[in-house]
A and B are shown apart, each in its own frame.
Chain A
Amino acid sequence: MKRNLNFIDAGSLLETNETTSVDLTKIYLEKIKEADELNCFNTVSAEQALDEAEKSDLRRQQGKLKSRFDGIPIGVKDLFCTKNIKTTASSRILSNFTPSYESTVTQNCIDAGLVSLGKLNCDEFAMGSTNKTSYYGPVTNPWKSNKSDAKLVPGGSSGGSAAAVAADLCVASLGTDTGGSIRQPASFTGTVGLKPTYGRVSRWGTIAFASSLDQAGPITKTVEDAAALFEIIAGHDPKDSTSSTKEKENFLDNLNSSVKGMKIGIPSEFKSDDLPLSTQKAWDDCKKLLQSNGAELIDMSLPHTMDALPTYYIIAPAEASSNLARYDGVKYGIREEGKNLIEMYEKTRSVGFGDEVKRRILIGTYVLSSGYYDAYYIKAQKIRSLIKSDFNQAFEKVDAILTPSTPSTAFEIENEPTDPVQTYLNDIFTVPINLAGIPAISIPFANDENDLPIGLQLITNSFEEQKLLNIAKNVQDTVNYESVPKNWWQK
């Protein structure tokens, strides 16, 4: 099956005038309309998109292109604030909120001439790994098992971003990743998802979930696309105090796929009897592939891997409980009137937030409370630094680490475990990376026995995205994974 239109190719088609931005935009708007059932978009900004596309075409005629990707239509997770376009974080509490400002990430896209088709569905405030916590309902994975007609989750929290790319409702998309929210849905949908080094991409104007972990990144159809879109959104931003001052690199132009002489670490802690056989096989096949392409495999250990998940579920809710305090009905968003201030707060936040968000606010408030702070938050911070030092030591011996992205492939929407901790286990392979602040990428490698995509995760040291992308390209070019989901959703 022919691959869907990717970012690099779209750039070439526009460059050779085989298509126009307006034509591409119209095609995608039509596709979006026909894919209602997937529920990928919270808001489709058709009018603005066509307007921007026209301007792009005009720029092309006048030879005043903003970048070589000027005019390519993309989708934006509904967590990035977009000027004059509703931004909800998939929460009822912001269901009436339209920012007067543009996030740095989306502004960078505008500055490159990209056209936004609209705002993509996600888990409420990016909390979830199934996209079922969205106030606007779950996103459906365009992939289906070859053994059942049941609808599958696309993963989360950037479920809409991943599903939209997999279903070709946009050329590429923007997501955010706090504990795996780019890589896990990318893995579930057969797409490429890059979580950059913490500080590479500005957080200004992106609705915060857990400030010390949040990082925006691209979800794309190829590794080259990921390099291109990452290059567009990355860079220092004086408005974000945690933004790195490192020079932006030319990730796309410097992309090469050689892994000769590279040392690839295989962490023993990620091995498990619970891992599905097909995932285990994909992992093994990839090791062999890298080995035969000239890399050296190194067995290694990340001793605190199993502590990562509980650590994450203390730090992330703690920060979230504070970050979400501003949604109080006073200044913006919905308000439920009450007899007094406290009652107004209680009513507004009771109806404004969904269960998962409330659960994490409660956990976060609890772990920060006096008397519990040392036992939970401080301890979690200590373990976090142990996890970081695990990776630091590992990268003295290896260039990159290879693991599965997720412990399973996509599961049925109706079959989500009722115990939230079971759902949290989805992130077991991805959260250590956020805690360490390092970059990682999920790339599709093969399909399992149900014909569902399996993603593998590559990890490098901080600010080594170039190396990460190079190895990912090597794997991509060797396996030549070209599967796309069958189009069952078209009306």
Chain B
Amino acid sequence: MISGWELVIGIEIHAQVKSKSKLFSSSSTEFGSGPNSQVSLVDAAMPGMLPVINKFCVEQAVRSGIGLNAQINKKSIFDRKNYFYQDLPQGYQISQFKDPIVGNGFIEIETDGQSKKVGIERLHLEQDAGKSLHDQDPNLTFVDLNRSGIALMEIVSMPDMKSPEEAVEYVKKVRSILRYLDTCDGNMEQGSLRADVNVSVNKPGDDLGTRCEIKNLNSFKYIHSAIIYEAKRQIKLIESGENIIQETRLYNIDSGETRSMRSKEDAHDYRYFPDPDLLPLILEDNWIKKIRSSIPELPDQKKERFIREYSLSEYDSSVIVSDKSTSDYYEKVVKDRNPKLVTTWVTSELFSVLNKKNLSIDESPISPNHLGELIDNIDSGKISSRQAKEIFEEMCETGESANNIINEKGLSQISDEGELEKLVDNVISSNPENVEKYKNGKDKLFGFFVGEAMKLSKGKANPKVLNELLKSKLNT
């Protein structure tokens, strides 16, 4: 990135477990409910309350571990991470410190067509804290405990990434895998997935530099620009003879800069110790096996299959499988249809509409069924591709099905030779001068006849059939 320097990046991802209830209580985890409306006695840390593990969250963590090609630890331990804060009702967070539920694993990422392994150090389960609201009153802080106790998976990578692009690809890939597994919805805007990024720089051949951690990045764009800013900042410091101080930094999305939050010396002493309210978490072999056998096809496998079954290019396949919803959408459309046509329509027309409107595939104004219908009409020659584009646009606006629009507007193509012959005869008989000129060698006038015939058909004539008819009539 910056010549003469190497970058070393490690990432901690905090992914909210997709689960109806919290890690240690039965409160709902639904996003966007009224403040403190999803708080049980346990979440509020009332005296005498005790945590009871939510088995489904454990299952989700195991599933995620399997998806990350990682070792599943049959015994793991919940620890208390002690610190005081207004939105941490217990005065400690229940987390896993020494003995996480998932150990070493790896994933494959791809940048510039090059694929690379990134190591996973661990995945552990922990509780989220509540939310402090500082903007409700000039003097008071309000606390919303809806998030308090929600299950998070912290996924720690090895320091294997060397560029901001690799870092982004890594987070994208982990997110994609979790979404395929349905263990995290990956919604970064709502905070369901966020990353802490560790960055250090060094000269090639030198020892690793001192790292700084940039906390709470919740978009790919921020991850990318925060790493660039931070690497440049560190290089500038070193080049001016200063030392990097190991510290935690925050990224300012408005200025694009990072600033110090706290240094290592100010770091909390969390006084971790095993939570005596919870027994060690013991997983049965059979249970793990059962989960393993229920793991769906993951992006890497799906990519290969799409290339094989639908003759997709490497690139198109990567793009389509990178998001589970997109690949699901694609598969629904491509089933029993011409893959080439489907790929073009999905990757160019549909994607450009989604991009323009800033919509996810799940919010697509056109359902897979409707798009399939449209493609069927193209494939059967009922409509021309020009008409198809018009219909597509209309579908985007109205959400109507292709068939409805075609019927309503009478857009279907006229391919019937008898009907078209009448049109052609009509055009020839009403333009005798031009017929004469054409026959005398002015070939260019052919387009004029096509245009006239089209006009008469209100654009519905099948161009191929029309051309053939015109040619045979004019050339006799």
Residues on A facing B (Cβ under 8 Å): 80-81, 87, 89, 94, 97, 99-101, 103, 203-208, 210-212, 238-242, 318-319, 321-322, 324-326, 328, 330-332, 341, 345, 365, 368-370, 373, 377
Contacts and interface: CB of A to CB of B under 8 A. Distances in A.
Given A345-B84, A370-B271, A212 B276 contact: yes
A331 B84 CA distance: 13
B405 interface: no
Interface string B50-90: 11110000000000000000000000000010101110011
What band does the interface of chain B fall in when counting residues whose beta carbon is under 8 Å from A?
Answer: 20 to 34
23 contacts: A81-B48, A99-B46, A99-B47, A100-B41, A103-B48, A204-B49, A204-B50, A205-B48, A205-B49, A208-B47, A208-B277, A211-B276, A241-B50, A321-B271, A322-B92, A325-B84, A325-B91, A331-B46, A341-B141, A345-B84, A368-B271, A373-B273, A377-B273
B396 to A, nearest CB: 50
Contacts of B84: 325, 328, 345
A240 B48 contact: no
Contact of A326 (B50, B51, B89, B271): B89
A97 B47 contact: yes
Nearest to B83: A325
B143 interface: yes
Contacts of A207: 47-48
B319 interface: no
A89 B47 contact: yes
Contact of B47 (A94, A319, A322): A94
Which 7 pairs show the lowest CB-CB distances between chains A and B?
Answer: A325-B91, A368-B271, A211-B276, A212-B276, A205-B48, A326-B45, A207-B47
A81 B277 contact: no
A87 B47 contact: yes
B30 to A, nearest CB: 22
Nearest to A318: B273
A116 B269 CA distance: 44
Contacts of B276: 210-212, 242, 319
Contacts of B273: 318, 322, 368, 373, 377
Contacts of A341: 85-86, 141
B90 A240 contact: no
Interface of B: 41, 44-53, 80, 82, 84-86, 89-92, 141, 143, 269, 271-273, 276-279
A365 B273 CA distance: 11
Given A241-B277, A330-B143, A341-B86, A369 B269 contact: yes
A241 B52 CA distance: 6
B86 A330 contact: yes
Contacts of A99: 46-48
B290 to A, nearest CB: 23
Q: Counting chain A CB atoms within 10 Å of each CB, which of B47, B80, B278, B279 scores highest?
A: B47
A330 to B, nearest CB: 5
Q: For B80, B84, B89, B273, which residue has the most chain A Cβ atoms within 10 angstroms? A: B273
A331 B271 contact: no
Nearest to B51: A241
B91 A322 contact: yes
B89 A204 contact: no
A239 B53 CA distance: 10
B276 to A, nearest CB: 4
Nearest to A211: B276
B46 A241 contact: no
A99 B41 CA distance: 10
Nearest to B45: A326
Contacts of A87: 47
Given A326-B91, A330-B143, A365 B47 contact: no
Nearest to B278: A241
A94 B45 CA distance: 14
Contact of B50 (A240, A331, A368, A370): A240
Given A81-B47, A328-B91, A242 B277 contact: yes
Contact of B90 (A203, A319, A325, A332): A325
B405 to A, nearest CB: 57
Contact of B82 (A89, A211, A242, A325): A325
Contact of B53 (A210, A241, A365): A241
Contacts of A94: 47
Contact of B46 (A101, A319, A345, A369): A101
B52 A242 contact: no
Contacts of A81: 46-48
B277 A326 contact: no
B89 A330 contact: yes
Contacts of A212: 276
Given A330-B143, A369-B271, A206 B91 contact: no
Contacts of A97: 47
A326 B143 contact: no
A35 B145 CA distance: 45
Nearest to A205: B48
A355 to B, nearest CB: 21
A325 B47 CA distance: 11
Contact of B92 (A325, A332, A345): A325
A239 B278 CA distance: 11
